[in-house]
């Protein structure tokens, strides 16, 4: 009888340990999965930010050129030369 109780206790301990290990592996697996998703999202954000930074760098470079600044002001802010009349036409709908 005593051996049977010890074997039952050993079985319960082994099952409990196995259940605990499976639970821990599952939670760690879920944590790793979420971190990989977050990493992918952050890598996409980094790529987008680098593209935006390159655009801004090009814009800064262009804004240092006087001809570009004048052309930009004429196109976007209806800037005119002396004695010049500016007429803005409505955009056509297609």
Burial 52-80 (b: 16+ CB within 10 A, else e): eeeeeeeeeeeeeeeeeeeeeeeeeeeee
pLDDT tens digits, 45-64: 999 999 999 999 999 999 99
Question: If you write DSSP's letter for every residue of 52-75 in order, what string do you get?
Answer: HHHHHHHHHHHHTSHHHHHHHHHH
pLDDT tens digits, 15-24: 999 999 999 9
9 vs 16: CA distance, rounded Å: 10
Domain extents for the chain?
2-77
What pTM was estimated for this model as a whole? 0.58
Which tokens go with 72?
Answer: 């930009």
């Amino acid at each position: 009888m005593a051996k049977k109780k010890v074997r039952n206790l050993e079985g319960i301990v082994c099952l409990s340990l196995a259940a605990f290990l499976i639970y821990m592996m599952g939670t760690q697996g879920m944590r790793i999965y979420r971190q990989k998703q977050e990493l992918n999202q952050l890598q996409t954000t980094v790529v987008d930010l680098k593209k935006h930074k390159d655009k801004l760098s090009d814009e800064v470079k262009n804004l240092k050129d006087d001809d570009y600044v004048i052309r930009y002001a004429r196109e976007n802010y209806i800037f005119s030369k002396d004695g010049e009349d500016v007429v803005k036409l409505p955009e056509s709908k297609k």
